[in-house]
Structure 1
Amino acid sequence: MLIAGATSASGTAAARALVAAGARVVAVGRDSGRLDALAADVRTTDAAGSVRTEVCDLGDEASVTALAGRIHAADGPVDGVLHLVGGWRGGGGLAGQTDADYRFLEGSFTALRHVTRAFDADLRESDAARLAIVSSTALDRPLAGGANYAAVKAASEAWARAVAQGFATAARDAGAPLRAASVVFRVKTLDGLESRLAGAYTALWNADAAAVNDTVIDLSRA
């Protein structure tokens, strides 16, 4: 189980929930100190699973390829990815949507592309794989001051839906039932919803893959 961009409150909450459910979690991020803090926090829980960390620049394709090799050697195939790489920059109306801000925000989409490509075969061949990304309710009504942010989130959702179609096509071509699912979680803000996100991702394994593949779930709704 891979958490991409794990050094956040949401990453810690997801790691706790997954480890409590018995998963072997690989938490990935750029900051080794924050990863160490996450691992120490999660390891204090009484759980059947485990957590270890990997430092990686997910925006660099070669680094992600090397990461996949290390994970395969240490843990075997990956059967779950929770993509939490993100961030916010915006404001200033349309004129304030600078290229520098766009390039910063685009990093989350680039990381998603690299991670899903590196582990696509693992997920398609798994008996029960789940990929989830975190998007934004801002896509329901994009604002000029958040145009860069909404554009990147829209691209990320399109990519996640393409992954879902790939899962469905692979299952169909193999004459097998669909076992992998790609899901989009939308939030207005993750602040205060960290535990809800963690629970929602963990709960995906309780649902039939065909029922949740290529779906958008709004976690901001009670």
Structure 2
Amino acid sequence: MDPTTPTTHGTDPLAGAVVAVAGAGGPAGHAALRALAGEGATVVAADADPGRLAEGVDAARSAHGGATVTGDTVDLLDLAATRAWAARTEREHGRIDGLVHLVGGWRGAKTFAGTDLADWDVLHGLLVRTVQHTSLAFEAPLARSRNGRFILVSATAATRPTAGNAAYAAAKAAAEAWTLALADGFRKAAADGPPPAAATVLVVKALVSEAMRERRPDARFAGFTDVTDLADAIRRQWSRPTDEVNGTRQWLTLQPTPRP
């Protein structure tokens, strides 16, 4: 496909699109790879764990025979390595129509006073720095696609932090702010037309997979979003025009009510 030709908003908006998935080695990443491949996208996955990455890539290929799903072991904490991944992806496939950010992590404390600032250092790297690196590396390719998407998965903690998850909530809030700044950049690049790409935030309380349910059959997982439902929400981001998606926070769980 000509890299200057945008993907469409028709019945198969992802057919022929090239979508990169960062942090693809976990259950959410595996589900996203399967969902995107099932829509006809070429999927380029990255993770720091080659074993988990290969498992997800193989599962997506097996689920959708003929699908193009590849994996790269990339250190997303390294800006140069992230830029090289973006450049290599665009060079090999001619375009990039999406970057899905699924790099996760959690650390917390029993009380606010018990917060260990070493947790902030870890979470800042995983939840903030990787968003900065992927957004800086993929902004221009996404804009060149004329229908690109930068999708961040965030958490309700960014909106309603608790005493014990200060580091996690602050990191998620920073990642959201960074993503919405990227959205403003896309908006300002629009001139008189729709943005050339869209940056959006999908908000969950937490994620649950079938394996988690099997390990804890008595757990309710109230308010959690199944990774398959998250994957479905991800693939739907190309079904609406960029101006309807850009700069939005989309809730996949109940929005928290303000504290009194």
Tell whether the structures are fold-level matches, with TM greater than 0.5.
Answer: yes
The TM-score, its normalising length taken from structure 1, stands at 0.94
Verify the 8 A CA contact 1:21 1:47 in the aligned structure 2: no
Distance 2:242 2:90 in 1: 24
CA distance in 2, matches of 1:65, 1:178: 23
Structure 1 distance, partners of 2:190, 2:120, is 36
Aligned partners of 1:20 and 1:48 also within 8 Å: no
Amino acid at match of 1:122: P
Counterpart check, 1:29 vs 2:62: no
Equivalence for 1:176 = 193
Larger radius of gyration: 2
Q: What is the percentage of aligned positions where both structures have the same residue?
A: 41
2:175 is matched with which residue: 153, 156, 164?
156
Kept in 1, the 8 Å contact 2:98–2:150? The answer is yes
Alpha-carbon distance, 1:103 to partner: 0.9
TM-score (norm 2): 0.81
1:95 is displaced (CA, Å) by: 2.0
Partner of 1:90: 108
Residue 235 of structure 2 corresponds to which residue in structure 1?
202
Residue 110 (structure 1) aligns with: 129
Partner of 1:218: 251
CA contact (8 A) 1:4 1:83 kept: yes
Indicate conservation of the 8 Å contact 2:109/2:116, yes or no.
no
> Residue 209 of structure 1: CA displacement?
1.4
Q: Secondary structure at the match of 1:43?
A: helix
Instruction: Please give the alpha-carbon distance, in whole angstroms, between the structure 2 residues aligned to 1:79 and 1:70.
Output: 14
Shift of residue 57 of structure 1?
0.6
Mapping of 1:2-81 within 5 angstroms? Answer: 2-46=20-64, 49-81=67-99
Residue 210 of structure 1: CA displacement?
1.0
**Other structure's SS at 1:184 match:** strand
Shift of 1:67: 1.6
Matched, 1:185 2:218: no
Q: Give the secondary-structure state (helix, strand or coil) at the position aligned to 1:206.
A: coil
| Distance (Å, rounded) in 1 between the aligned partners of 2:67 and 2:99 | 16
Q: Deviations over 1:84-122 (max 9, x none)?
A: 011100022122221211111111210110111011111
- Determine whether 1:131 maps to 2:150: yes
Secondary structure of 1:195 counterpart: helix
Q: Is the 8 A contact 2:61 2:67 kept in 1?
A: no
Structure with higher helix content: 1
Cα distance per residue 1:120-148 (max 9 Å; x no partner): 11111212111111111122321111110
Matching residue of 2:184: 165
SS in 2 for 1:65: helix
Moved over 6 A (4+): none
* In 2: Cα distance, 1:46 partner to 1:197 partner: 19
What is the SS of the residue equivalent to 1:186? strand
SS in structure 2 of the partner of residue 141 of structure 1: coil
Structure 1 residue 119 corresponds to structure 2 residue 138: yes
CA distance in 2: counterparts of 1:158 and 1:164, whole angstroms: 10
- Closer, same or farther: CA 127–48 of 1 in aligned 2, 3 Å: farther
Gaps of 5+ in 1: none
Q: Matches of 1:191 and 1:162 in 2, distance apart? A: 29
Give the RMSD, CA atoms, in angstroms. 1.6
Equivalent pairs counted in the alignment come to 220
Quick check: 95-104 or 161-170, which moved more? 95-104
8 Å CA contact 1:90, 1:96 repeated in 2:
no
Uncovered stretches (5+) of structure 2, i.e. residues with no partner: 1-18, 210-225, 256-260
Q: In the alignment, what sits opposite 1:99?
A: 117
Aligned 8 A contact 1:185 1:217 in 2:
yes
